[in-house]
């Protein structure tokens, strides 16, 4: 039977303490150390007895031996930590064991303090005083708990086994960090197995982001998904970087009208670095506590895996991008152009390319230095990236040349964009120590039947030469060679076709044309 140093119900303003040890001598010694603090102290001789007492009383502090009979101090601590009604109770573990494994368990069982019994006389009282500082006694109302001690330990073990399995499955996602899209699908596939909400959203930042992956098991619109994305708070500007997997589930009802309802979001991070978030929407119902707990569990375990994804993406980008401007390099731009041409022909959509060259770039380097020249290239790269659409491709083709691939666009619209871009660059203020203003010449070419990627680039390049010859800071379009040109441009017969070229004598006078 348990013994108490004071009889009766918990007194108002008095902390209740449970001392658990299978040695009566040790229990009495702990009680004697704590009595001066005025606690209401209850003793238990085993873990099972301690759990039985929690069905009858509430406690503010538990001081327990780590090694006991059927239920150890570690298991007892995990039961307390795993039960929402008792998880905030202060817990101190004591051990006389000198084995490294036992001390490891003591430190990692979730206790607030861990003390060796040989240090108890010196350290127990200060540790308890520190733990109880700022706390107020818990209400003495009997907590709503049920089940035998063995059933409660079993429930906690099931609870922690679930955590271990989910965390293990998250770590296995490391196999998919080579591909952001596949990775996002796999994360939400796992989350859908343990979370019973109709809508799951994974938001990832990093080198390949920001992106959104959605798993919709509730109603979802047919055709235009805009209303559905808006209901899940996906920013309109991010709709083209959102991937949605729709898997209707009868549990969440039929139809196409998305009701996001109440949501819960948990940040994915490594230390202080935010990497993204995992968010769930309850639809017409609130998110269950078990679902919220699973979101937290997955998000916490995802931190290291998502960071690995970002490192892979960063490595891939280093191989694809130009070190100075951060734009795609020529090799990757050539690959993307082949892909965009194939897509344009498959979908019967327009495609144009613009070759942009900085005017008088050699003179800028000669007068202001290569540092100023580098800054000019970076500024132009930033302007190009900010001005074009997200699905357009911007690259540094080489030297002071930039290539822009305009997808799904007609020549008329591409010409307007190119002219506006030229005007914007010409009016951009420059930093101190560089040229007062800069300008670019642009050659524009449209994909036509039977034209290869190399031929399309050549057409844009020749149009660029004409823009240079006609005074720079202008846009020229391939196919408009017959328009009146200055005397510095002549037509030369090449294999039955007439090809415009810049007069070599004039080119020699203007060494920085290209």
Q: 164-319 adopts what CATH topology?
A: Beta-Lactamase (3.30.450)
Backbone angles phi, psi at 243, to 5 degrees: -115, 125
Helices (H), 195-243: 226-231
- Write out pLDDT tens, residues 479-489: 886 654 443 44
β pairing state of 90-95 and 113-116? parallel
pLDDT score, position 403: 96
Mean residue pLDDT of the chain comes to 85
Cis previous bond, 331, omega within 30: no
Backbone angles phi, psi at 25, to 5 degrees: -65, -45
Strand partners, 497: 494
- What pLDDT score was predicted for residue 298? 95
Res. 171: pLDDT tops 90 = yes
Locate 359 and state its tokens: 């005017």
Query: Per-residue pLDDT tens for 193-235?
Result: 999 999 999 999 998 889 999 999 999 998 888 999 999 999 8
pLDDT tens readout for residues 486-509: 434 433 333 334 344 444 334 433
H-assigned helices in 348-496: 361-368, 370-387, 411-427, 453-469
Taking 90 as the threshold, does the pLDDT of residue 5 lie above it?
Answer: no
Answer with the residue of higher pLDDT: 140 or 278: 278
Write down the pLDDT at residue 148. 63
Task: Note the pLDDT of residue 402.
Answer: 96
| The CATH fold of domain 330-509 | Alpha-Beta Plaits (3.30.70)
User: Does 446 score more than 50 pLDDT?
Assistant: yes
pTM, two decimal places: 0.60
Greater confidence (154 vs 370) lies with 370
3-class secondary structure, 418: helix
Residue holding tokens 């050659």?
Answer: 443
Calpha distance 132→129 (Å, rounded):
5
Query: What DSSP assignment string belongs to 118-173?
Result: GGHHHHHHHHHHHHHTT--PPP-SPP---S-HHHHHHHHHHHHHHHHHHHHHHHHG
Q: Which of 165-174, 416-425, 460-469, 474-483 has the lowest mean pLDDT?
A: 474-483
DSSP state of 288: P
CB 258 within 8 A of CB 232: yes
Nearest-CA neighbor of 180 among 200, 208, 202?
Answer: 208
Phi, psi (degrees; rounded to nearest 5) at 241: -120, 30
**Each residue's pLDDT tens digit, 296-341:** 999 999 999 999 999 999 988 888 889 899 899 999 999 999 999 9
Q: 501: burial class by Cβ within 10 Å (0-12, 13-18, 19+)?
A: middle
**CB 280, CB 214: distance < 8 Å:** no
- Confidence label for 86 from pLDDT (cuts 50, 70 and 90): confident
**206 backbone dihedrals φ, ψ, rounded to 5°:** 85, 180
Distance CA 219, CA 335 (A): 39
pLDDT tens string 19-52: 999 999 999 999 999 998 899 999 999 988 998 8
pLDDT tens digits along 130-156: 999 888 888 765 555 556 666 666 766
The domain limits of the chain are: 3-146, 164-319, 330-509
Region 463-487 average pLDDT = 81
The pLDDT assigned to 17 comes to 94
Query: Is 50:24 a contact under the CB 8 Å cutoff?
Result: no
Cα 427 from Cα 225, distance rounded (Å):
39
End-to-end C-alpha distance for the chain, whole angstroms = 96
Q: How many CB atoms lie within 10 A of CB 108?
A: 10
pLDDT of residue 496: 38
Q: What is the pLDDT of residue 396?
A: 95
Comparing 347 with 105, the larger pLDDT belongs to 347
Are the CB atoms for 380 and 425 separated by under 8 Å?
yes
Which candidate, 268, 201, 271, places its Cα nearest to that of 238? 201
CATH placement of domain 3-146 = 3.40.50.2300
Q: For residue 350, is pLDDT > 90?
A: yes
Distances, alpha carbon 179 to alpha carbons 189, 205, 303, 311, 316, in Å:
15, 14, 17, 12, 11
Under 8 Å between Cβ of 92 and 64:
yes
> Taking a C-beta distance cutoff of 8 angstroms, is the pair 86, 54 a contact?
yes
In the structure, what pLDDT confidence band is assigned to residue 173 with cuts at 50, 70 and 90?
very high
């Amino acid at each position: 039977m348990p013994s108490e140093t004071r009889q009766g119900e918990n007194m108002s303003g008095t902390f209740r303490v449970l001392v658990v040890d299978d040695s009566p001598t040790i229990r009495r010694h702990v009680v004697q150390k704590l009595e001066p603090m005025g606690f209401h102290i209850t003793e238990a001789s085993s873990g099972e007895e301690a759990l039985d007492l929690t069905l009858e009383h509430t406690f503010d502090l538990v001081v327990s031996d780590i090694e006991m009979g059927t239920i150890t101090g570690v298991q007892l601590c995990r039961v307390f930590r795993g039960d929402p009604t008792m998880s905030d109770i202060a817990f101190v573990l004591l051990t006389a064991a000198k084995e490294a494994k036992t001390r490891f368990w003591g430190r990692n069982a979730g206790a607030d303090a861990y003390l060796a019994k040989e240090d108890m006389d010196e350290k127990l009282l200060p540790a308890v005083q520190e733990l109880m500082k700022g706390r107020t006694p818990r209400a003495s109302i009997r907590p709503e708990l049920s089940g035998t001690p063995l059933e409660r330990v079993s429930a906690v073990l099931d609870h922690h086994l679930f955590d271990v399995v989910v965390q293990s499955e998250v770590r296995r996602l490391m196999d998919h960090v080579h591909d952001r899209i596949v990775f996002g699908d796999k994360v939400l596939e796992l989350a859908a197995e343990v979370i019973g909400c109709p809508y799951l959203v994974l938001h990832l930042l990093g080198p390949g982001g920001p992106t959104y992956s959605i798993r919709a098991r509730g109603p979802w619109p047919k055709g235009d998904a805009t209303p559905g994305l808006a209901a899940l708070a996906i920013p309109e500007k991010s709709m083209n970087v959102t991937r949605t997997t729709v898997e209707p589930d009868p549990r969440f009802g039929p139809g196409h009208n998305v009701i996001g309802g109440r949501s819960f979001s948990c940040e994915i991070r490594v230390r202080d670095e935010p990497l993204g978030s995992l968010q769930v929407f309850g639809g017409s119902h609130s998110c269950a506590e078990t679902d919220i707990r699973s979101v937290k569990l997955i998000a916490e375990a995802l931190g290291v895996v998502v960071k690995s994804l970002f490192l892979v993406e960063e490595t891939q980008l280093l191989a694809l991008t130009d070190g100075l401007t951060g734009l795609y390099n020529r090799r990757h731009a050539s690959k993307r152009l082949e892909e965009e041409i194939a897509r344009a022909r498959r979908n019967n959509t327009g495609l144009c390319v613009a070759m942009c060259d900085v005017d008088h770039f050699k003179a800028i380097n000669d007068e202001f230095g290569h540092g100023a020249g580098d800054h000019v290239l970076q500024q132009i790269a930033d302007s190009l990236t900010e001005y074009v659409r997200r699905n357009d491709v911007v690259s540094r083709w080489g030297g002071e040349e930039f290539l822009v691939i305009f997808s799904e666009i007609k020549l008329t619209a591409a010409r307007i964009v190119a002219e506006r871009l030229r005007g914007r660059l010409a009016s951009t203020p420059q930093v101190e120590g560089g040229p007062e203003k800069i300008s670019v010449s642009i050659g524009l070419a449209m994909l036509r039947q039977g034209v290869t990627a190399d031929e399309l680039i050549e057409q844009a390049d020749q149009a660029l030469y004409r823009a240079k010859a006609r005074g720079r800071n202008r846009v020229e379009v391939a196919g408009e060679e017959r328009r009146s040109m200055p005397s510095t441009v002549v037509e030369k017969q090449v294999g039955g076709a007439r090809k415009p070229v810049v007069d070599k004598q004039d080119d020699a006078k203007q060494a920085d044309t290209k």
